[in-house]
Structure 1
Amino acid sequence: MIKLGIIGTNWITQQFIDAIKLSRKFDLTSVYSRHDQTAKTFAAKNGAQETFTDLNAFFTKGQFETVYIASPNSLHFEQAQMAIQHGKNVIVEKPAFSTQKQMAKIQALLDENPQVLYFEAARNIHTENFHAIEKKLGQLKTVQGAEFTYSKYSSRYDLVLEGEEPNVFSLKYAGGALQDLGVYTVYDAVALFGMPEEAAYYPQLIRTGVDGKGTAILQYPEYNVTLNFSKITNSHMTSEIYGLKDLIEIDDAGEINAVIYIDDDRNKQVIGNTIDENPMLPEVEDFARVINDPKNPQNKHDYDYWRQLSVYVNKLIYNLRQDAHISFVGEKK
């Protein structure tokens, strides 16, 4: 069993813990929270043995070998850096880091500590349905671009409308639609098509200064890929990858619960409809596989690919933000 420590006690952390319980490959031992009672409540609910409110004590005294970081985006870099320096494997929620400088520093630190493993928790690319898309895409005779849509109204936006500034909609905490749901669509594009030659972002800014929704256009040599994402509206539009007369239809660019191939004659074939008991289970299984046997050739190949993909995604998201002139508080310091 892989001993796990966690930073963050929100709903996404609970979903991750529920996933590790299903996998039976991780054992939650340590919980960090700024608030003692919050840490103790979460630990008691999930069977952790120890709690911390001091981050340094968490890393120096905590009985764990891998840490899952699900704090506000702006805190990921400092916490991941501390983890690597203390020899802990890192699983960090997407987006891993806010700038290319932060990503470069983490990559350099990983190179200096080759025994430490780093994963960005982008769950969509680990699913069977995503692998079905990859396989079918390789079989298309012609590829003419794609459109990926992932829009879900956030209940936190109600607080914005009431005059508050929750973390996910705050420049101070590196929030916004691109930094949240947009990451899934960027991962879809980069994992399937590689890095674009050019990229532009057209955001809809809200009162707090972040992007509530937006459209990104990625230019490849022979086609474009369009990304649509929002945290202030809902959308039921499907996502599509275009062949010549045929196409791949995806129910949702983030969840990816159903994938259909539609041929030249409009005949439909379901090529992916696996719905996991917990949407984070596939990535948990993948991370555990690599942590338990990092020298296995296939595991090493997968790990190197995920690590490089994380770097590419970070670069593209950063470039999109710069194109839209969105800067986070303290980013230039």
Structure 2
Amino acid sequence: MVLKVGTIGTSWITEQFIEAILASREYDLGAIYSRDASKAKVINEKFATNATAFTDLTAFFASDIDVVYIASPNALHYRQILQAIENDKHVIVEKPAVITPMQFEMVYSKLREHPNVRFFEAARHIHQPNFKKIAAQIEKMEQIQGATFVYNKYSSRFDDFLAGKNPNVFNPDFAGGAIEDLGVYPIYAAVALFGLPKDAQYFATKLSNGADGRGTAILRYPEFDVTLIFGKNSNSYLASEIYGLEDSIVIDSIAELTSILYHHNPTEAEQIADLPHENPMLAEVTVFAEIINNFDLHNQEYRDLLMLSQRVNNVIYQLRQTAALSFPADQEK
């Protein structure tokens, strides 16, 4: 079944998502929600689609779409997820899906009321074939003694912040900052590869408005630690690493996964990565369509993804508490 998709958000990441779903041939673009109808027209022209433009969110959810893709500011995800589920639409939502464990529990509750609806957090990197190669290589290693995952990238909106503006991606009122954006990539990788840590601590470097511009998190496991370095106000060119005994895995970027070197020892290494697809979202949208269309065959895979999303949500929340990072969602009852 070709799935009809409606999108919320018109930024570059929505365009990348549309490119991926059209390339997969598993979806059609059926609707575009934006407060500015002209933006929907631009997208239709760019992708040669004929999606219906909506400026009213209630009408958008009442339309004949099968799947909603949510790429709005972080703080808006939760209400839009609930509204989508209530209208029996499958949900693909950009990370972070929601902000607090309470919100995640409410999403779980709503899903139980609508058992035919599927909910996915768009953590694209964990679905890529090269991420699976990392997991497979870890299984072959005699011992894991720790890891360092790095994702530091200067945001195109940080110049606006420095100029005195308060863009959503750096605004605590919209759950902005490093940990709820680029930090999700290394946190997801750590939890997917190593499970829930027994303890977690975040050392955040805060901006003048209280958001975290960058920071270092330490996830403690029974036999090793994982250090996470991430930020949105500087660039880093450090590789990410997973430490064995004499061997190690060196990854160019924990989010992009274009190079993965397995070092057998200091003098012998091999490239285990395949050339990734030019659109990094293709793998995840293909997985999501397969689960929706053949749920009986992928029930356990779906449950595992849902549990992983909840675990990541819990870890991020715990890290925020240790760094005294608070958002309006934390006050919700």
Deviation at 1:114, TM superposition (A): 1.1
Aligned residue number for residue 248 of structure 2: 247
Aligned-pair Cα RMSD in Å: 1.1
**Equivalent residue for 1:183?**
184
Mapped pair 1:49 → 2:48 = no
| Separation of aligned partners in 2, 1:128 and 1:56 | 37
Tell me, yes or no, if the aligned pair for 2:75 and 2:329 is still in contact at 8 Å.
Answer: no
Whether 1:145 aligns to 2:146 is yes
Task: Write the distance in 2 (CA, Å) between the matches of 1:141 and 1:317.
Answer: 30
Tell me the CA shift for residue 153 of structure 1.
0.5
Q: What is the aligned partner in structure 1 of residue 228 from structure 2? A: 227
Q: Offset of 1:330 from its aligned partner? A: 5.2
Which whole-Å CA distance do the structure 2 matches of 1:227 and 1:330 have between them?
24
Residue 58 (structure 1) aligns with: 60
1:300 match: secondary structure: helix
Name the aligned partner's letter for residue 326 of structure 1: L
CA 1:314–1:330 in 2, change beyond 3 Å: closer, same or farther? closer
TM-score of the two chains, using structure 2 as the length reference:
0.97
Q: State the secondary structure of the residue aligned to 1:38.
A: helix
In the alignment, is the contact (CA less than 8 A) between 2:240 and 2:253 conserved in 1? yes
1:305 aligns with 2:304: yes
Q: Is 1:35 aligned to residue 36 of structure 2?
A: yes
- Please state if 1:199 is matched with 2:200: yes
Distance in structure 2 (CA, Å) of the matches to 1:49 and 1:36: 12
Q: Which residue of the partner structure matches residue 257 of structure 2?
A: 256
Distance in 1 between the 2:139 and 2:88 partners?
39
Name 2:114's counterpart in structure 1: 113
- 5 Å-filtered alignment, 1:88-127, equals 88-127=89-128
Structure 1 gap segments, 5+ residues each: none
Secondary structure of the structure 2 residue equivalent to 1:181? coil
Aligned positions of 1:266-305 closer than 5 A: 266-296=267-297, 299-305=298-304
> Secondary structure, in 3 states, of the residue corresponding to 1:150?
strand
In 1: Cα distance, 2:87 partner to 2:167 partner: 31
| One-letter code aligned to 1:300 | N
- Cα deviations by residue, 1:168-196 (Å, 9 ceiling, x for unpaired): 00011111010001000001000000000
Residue identity matched to 2:151: Y
Q: Is the 8 A contact 2:100 2:329 kept in 1?
A: no
Determine if contact 1:43/1:51 at 8 Å carries over to the other structure. Answer: no
Identical pairs, percent: 48
Report the equivalent of 1:164: 165
Q: Could you list the per-position Cα deviations for residues 202-242 of structure 1 after superposition, in whole angstroms to 9, with x for gaps in the alignment? A: 01111222101000000000110000001111011000000
Instruction: Measure how far apart 1:155 and its partner are.
Output: 1.3
Matched to 1:107, the amino acid is Y
SS in 2 for 1:272: coil
Tell me, in whole angstroms, the C-alpha distance in 2 between the residues paired with 1:180 and 1:6.
Answer: 20
Aligned-residue offset at 1:34: 1.5
Which amino acid in the other structure matches residue 301 of structure 2?
D
Residues 246 and 266 of structure 1 are in contact (CA less than 8 Å); yes or no, is this contact kept in structure 2?
no
Residue deviations 1:74-100 (CA, integer Å, cap 9, x gap): 000000000000000000000000111
Gaps of 5+ in 2: none
In 2 relative to 1, CA 317–330 (structure 1 residues): closer, same or farther, beyond 3 Å?
Answer: closer
Aligned mates of 2:320, 2:197 — CA distance in 1 = 15
Query: Which residue matches 1:18?
Result: 19
What SS does structure 1 have at the residue aligned with 2:140?
A: coil
Letter in 2 for 1:133: I
Provide the rounded CA distance (Å) in 2 between the counterparts of 1:188 and 1:240. 12
TM-score, normalised to structure 1's length?
0.97
